[in-house]
Amino acid sequence: MKIIGGFRCEQCGKWYKTKNNLGRHLKYECQRDPKFQCTYCSYRAKLNCNLLKHIRSQHLM
């Protein structure tokens, strides 16, 4: 799929629609180990929002 406009990560080549999304990617995701650890299991996430989704869906039923 061709993306017209947007912002490209120079390190990995991923494209983002907004500069803020690219900034988040560079700060938390690109070439980094997951830093958010689940308190209930061994799951780790690169973004806190993904960890919260995991906890809600897997541990708080």
With cut-offs at 50, 70 and 90, classify the pLDDT of residue 5. confident
Query: Against a cut of 0.75, is the pTM above it?
Result: no
Position with higher pLDDT, 59 vs 4: 59
Read off the DSSP letter of residue 37.
E
Structure tokens at 48: 């806190």
User: Would you say 20 and 31 are in contact if contact means Cβ atoms under 8 Å apart?
Assistant: no
User: Would you say 28 and 49 are in contact if contact means Cβ atoms under 8 Å apart?
Assistant: no
Task: Give the list of residues 6+ apart from residue 41 with CB closer than 8 angstroms, or none.
Answer: 58, 59
At 6-52, the pLDDT tens digits run 999 999 999 999 999 999 999 999 999 999 999 999 999 999 999 99
Residue 1 has pLDDT above 70, yes or no: no
Structure tokens at 13: 């080549």
